[in-house]
Amino acid sequence: MNFKANNINVAYMGPPSSFSHQAAIQHFGEDSKLIACESIPDVFNFTSESDNNFGVVPVENSNEGMVTHTLDMFINSEVKIAAEIFLDIHLNLLSNSKLEEITTVFTIPIAFAQCKNWFVENMPEVKHIDTYSTARAAELVSGKENSAAVAGILASKMYNLNVVAECIEDYDQNMTRFFVINNKMPTKDDVSKSKTSILFSIKDIAGALYESLKPFRDADINLTKIESRPSKQKAWEYYFFVDFIGHADDEKVKSALGKLINHCNFVKILGSYPV
């Protein structure tokens, strides 16, 4: 799959300088046609409109876990996962006011969570206001006094904000995983080693989850991730998201998936993509 073609469009959750924007640049290059969207659903919708459209969406942070909004979008969307991106995340307090003058801080909830110890120690009384992206937080703060944003260095340059405090995340190992989405997924011949993501819901009987996962163990398929999400259709009914090593077209994977279907109400292959 050619990610460097001249006629592709790449959507990300903006505004420009968001971490999704940085992930898109890292994967596709600065010269690609990058398009800022206001939300994760907008990225999915834009991507589904054309095979030439790609999207970049956050899926998991190494410290705060899964981005549930992204997982939920895969339930009804037909787009596929074409690649994954890992981006080191460094969070900074950006403002044109001094630290002692700041009364309000803007950023996304997951960024606040990643810096909670720093705020307890340094700004315990500050008011937190949620935004839909770190870049939007920086954009808002650029026109406000006594306010700050938690965002990346790129946002400080784009919105002319000073770095009041640098790298305020609580853990040095702070990384976010993004998915590249498209209407198609790479074929088995496109990559030498693949990872596959699937989504399924199990029957409401004893041992259903165990029996669903057993075919992967029997086939010696390495499961690297399992996550559950409420179906939002029936109380206590869940979808399971699973990552494993291998391509959906591998014979042993096709065999395991065939057996999985016997224990499930619903099975969906989200994509096979390079490890």
Among 178, 179, 200, 241, the one annotated catalytic: 178
- The CA distance from 165 to 92, in Å, is 6
Would you tell me how many other CB atoms lie within 10 Å of the CB of residue 175?
13
> Using alpha carbons only, what angle is made at residue 178 by residues 220 and 28, rounded to the nearest 5 degrees?
115
> Does residue 266 carry a catalytic annotation?
no
**Is residue 186 within 8 Å of 274, Cβ to Cβ?**
yes
Q: What residues have CB less than 8 Å from 218, skipping those under 6 apart?
A: 256
**Is residue 21 within 8 Å of 206, Cβ to Cβ?**
no
> Does residue 112 carry a catalytic annotation?
no
DSSP 173: -
Query: Which tokens hold the place of 50?
Result: 């054309």
Among 74, 176, 179, 196, the one annotated catalytic: 176
Strands 92-95 and 162-165 turn out to be antiparallel
**Is residue 85 within 8 Å of 26, Cβ to Cβ?**
yes
Query: Which tokens hold the place of 48?
Result: 């589904």
- Residues marked as catalytic: 176, 178
